[in-house]
Amino acid sequence: MKAADLTVSTGSHWHSGARITDFSYNTLLALVPAIAMGLYHYGISAAGVIGTAVASAMIAEAAMQKLLGKPVTIADGSAAVSGLLLALLLPANTPAYMVVVAAFIGIAIGKQCFGGLGANPLSPALVGWAVLRITKPWVGYLDFDLALINYDLGFSMQYPLAVLKASGASGLHDFNTWNLFLGNQTGGIGASAIVCVLGGGLYMVARGLVRWEIPLCFLLGVFIASSLFRLVDSAAYAGPLFHIVTGNVMIGAFFLSTDNSSAPINRWGMVAFGLFCGMITVVLRVWSVYPDGVVFACLLMSLFVPLLDKLRASPIIVRPATIQITKEARREGASS
């Protein structure tokens, strides 16, 4: 047969049109309401943190890729998403150098050292945030009550989880769950805009960019664990709704824990991952020295992803007994 001027390849010869950028650009879009509420509450300083984080994450990505001799892929938007998620967890007046350090460490060590997008075992934004959180001289900057002391936004300027930690559930009478849900609470720039984060998260789920299992089970895990604590002592431990509408739970459920490469992809793996993230969050909120435990819970569970990947919905071979005629059997059949 004579070759013609044709393209050849394996199938499929059609494609759905999905792109890597679908994930990152839609995440940016889904976070716009949360950014808007952050800007509304904290003004230009919030814009500064967001801008610095996104820019330094992208620069870090480009610099590392140049250094490692890889093609520069900042246009795929994944570094921008990491930067943005980092910024949304931080108080509005975090010093710029801290933001830069977190973004660089998150991208350079948390992502590029492991091979870049898809190969990172931990979410870069969470790595950056965790480094800031455990760096002793900077602890005060991440304490929302200290950091946001100069703001008066017309609602209680105490960080709800810090109040819970200090005085137990009985000290929470200032907080109304509905108000907290509407975002009238101090906290990270975007993480505290609960209703906006939820809206963006539901958009991501509806687009199929975030699988519903992880967010649902994350919230369920928080609900279960906090209900158990509540059953033991309702004066000391806050109820499940309070836990869900405060701190980083909402952004954690929809955006932090669902980072593609640091989450499992099998249904039962995702269910277990979400449940454990949620429950560990509550356990850390109750027993750790930190008021919130979402980021550490997500980081911890991400380390278990290779194990969770082994949880399968069904066994590989879903077929009943099959006949197998081997060459030997055929030869025997022929001779007999």
Burial of 328 (0-12, 13-18, 19+ CB in 10 A): exposed
Pick 98 or 219: Cβ nearer other proteins:
219
Residues that bind other proteins (CB under 8 A): 1-16, 18-20, 22-23, 115-119, 205-208, 211-212, 260-261, 265-267, 309, 312-314, 316-327, 329-330, 333
Least CB distance to other proteins at residue 272 (A): 15
Q: Which is nearer to other proteins, 23 or 129 (CB)?
A: 23
CA-based radius of gyration for the chain: 24
The token pair at 316 is: 């590989």
Q: For 288, how many CA atoms within 13 A lie in the half-sphere containing its CB?
A: 16
- Are 87 and 190 spatial neighbours (Cβ–Cβ below 8 Å)? yes
- Cα 51 to Cα 88: distance, rounded to the nearest angstrom: 11
Nearest distance from residue 64's CB to other proteins, in Å? 15
Q: Based on CB atoms, which residue is closest to other proteins, 118 or 140? A: 118
Q: Tell me the closest approach of the beta carbon of residue 119 to other proteins, in angstroms.
A: 7
Q: How far is the CB of 329 from other proteins (least distance, A)?
A: 8
Return the structure tokens found at 268. 């039962």
Per the listing, tokens 């509304």 go with 40
Q: Hey, what are 311's tokens? A: 């949880």
CB of 43 to other proteins, least distance (A): 35
Residue with tokens 């060590």: 109
For residues 194 and 54, give the distance between their C-alpha atoms in angstroms, rounded to a whole number.
Answer: 21
> Considering the complex, what minimum distance in angstroms separates the CB of residue 298 from other proteins?
16
Name which of 52 and 258 has its Cβ closer to other proteins.
Answer: 258
Q: What's the closest the beta carbon of residue 199 comes to other proteins, in angstroms?
A: 15
Cβ atoms 127, 110 nearer than 8 A: yes
Instruction: Name the one residue in this structure whose structure tokens are 């992502």.
Output: 111
- d(Cα 254, Cα 241) in Å, to the nearest integer? 17
Q: Which is nearer to other proteins, 14 or 287 (CB)?
A: 14
Q: How far apart, in Å, are the Cα atoms of 47 and each of 88, 103, 259, 321?
A: 10, 16, 24, 63
Closest to other proteins by CB, 203 or 237:
203
User: Whose Cβ is closer to other proteins: residue 5's or residue 152's?
Assistant: 5
- CB nearer to other proteins: pick between 70 and 149: 70
Our CB check for other proteins shows the closer of 153 and 329 to be: 329
Minimum gap (Å) between residue 97 Cβ and other proteins: 31
Instruction: Report residue 332 as tokens.
Output: 């025997």
CB 103 within 8 A of CB 285: no
CB of 326 to other proteins, least distance (A): 5
Q: Residue 134 has which token pair?
A: 């455990």
The helix (run of H) or strand (run of E) holding residue 58 is: helix 44-67
- DSSP secondary structure letters along 21-50: HHHHHHHHHHTHHHHHHHHHHHTHHHHHHH
The number of beta carbons lying within 10 Å of the beta carbon of residue 66 is 11
